[in-house]
Amino acid sequence: MEITRTKSVSGAYSEQSALRKIFILTILTALFSFAGWICETVMFLIVRGEFCDRGLLTLPFCPLYGLGMLGVYAVLRTPQSGLWEKICSRPQTKTGRFLATVLCLIVYATLAALLASAVEYITGLFFDRKFGVRLWSYRRYDDTINGYVSLRYSLLWGILAVSAMGLVWHPMQNVLARARTSVLAILAIALFVIIAGDFAFNMIYLHVRGKRFGSLGEMLFRKRT
């Protein structure tokens, strides 16, 4: 993932209007929320051999992942753009650019890990204190902060963030940037309404009943078993 000094590094996304960028970022946030749900589900199937939906929503989305990546992008951009592009393109030799790229990736991963851990801690603390619901717990590990954050997982978030932002988010930005505005608008608005509606419903249900409504995956799994 070496950063070069060509104009194509930043890609077509940098040339988009503010409105088109909002549509693209909304779509990417939704897609990463869905990808996060898949990763969590598959991990539990492999580790525990059972279906477990640790998300809050009824539909297969984990907004924490999408919003976490959006937050990383808002603060750090992608490894191929912004400050990182300038730093990595400054050396005159290939060796210098390679070393600068490696250093930038390490710093990027470290900062992303700190940001992701902060989001994880605040979100976990909020739902625990406000609704008495533990969305996750790291209490079985010995490197946690009140069970909301684990050092080993923070390191994992950093690695995943730099990989996801560099290898998936950045290329997809440029792919979506080539789509028609009408397509971006319809897709972005539809995804936002679906996820926001799901979130609002579950927050109301949680406030009224004091528990989760349950996910669509759990409902289907219970019917099959």
Rounded to whole angstroms, the Cα distance separating 134 from 218 reads 18
How does residue 56 score in pLDDT terms, banded at 50, 70 and 90? confident
Is the model's pLDDT at 209 over the cut of 70?
yes
- Name the DSSP letter for residue 169: I
pLDDT digits (tens, 9 = 90+) for 157-176: 999 999 999 999 999 999 99
Instruction: Quote the tokens at residue 41.
Output: 């589900």
Rounded to whole angstroms, the Cα distance separating 158 from 69 reads 11
Say what the pLDDT of residue 139 is: 86
Q: Which of 76-85, 127-136, 156-165, 167-176 has the lowest mean pLDDT?
A: 127-136
Mean pLDDT throughout 18-25? 96
Say what the pLDDT of residue 222 is: 58
AA identity, residue 1: M
Is the model's pLDDT at 1 over the cut of 60?
no
> Beta-carbon neighbour count of residue 210 at 10 Å?
10
Rounded to whole angstroms, the Cα distance separating 217 from 52 reads 9
Strands 149-150 and 144-145: antiparallel
* Angle, CA of 56, 165 and 188, to the nearest 5°: 55
Say what the pLDDT of residue 18 is: 94
3-state helix vs strand vs coil in the chain, percent to 5: 70, 0, 25
pLDDT digits (tens, 9 = 90+) for 34-54: 999 998 888 877 877 777 766
What pTM did the predictor assign?
A: 0.85
* Contact predicate 12/178, CB 8 Å: yes
Rounded to whole angstroms, the Cα distance separating 84 from 165 reads 13
- Name the DSSP letter for residue 93: S
Residue 144: phi and psi, rounded to 5, are -105, 165
DSSP 20-43: HHHHHHHHHHHHHHHHHHHHHHHH
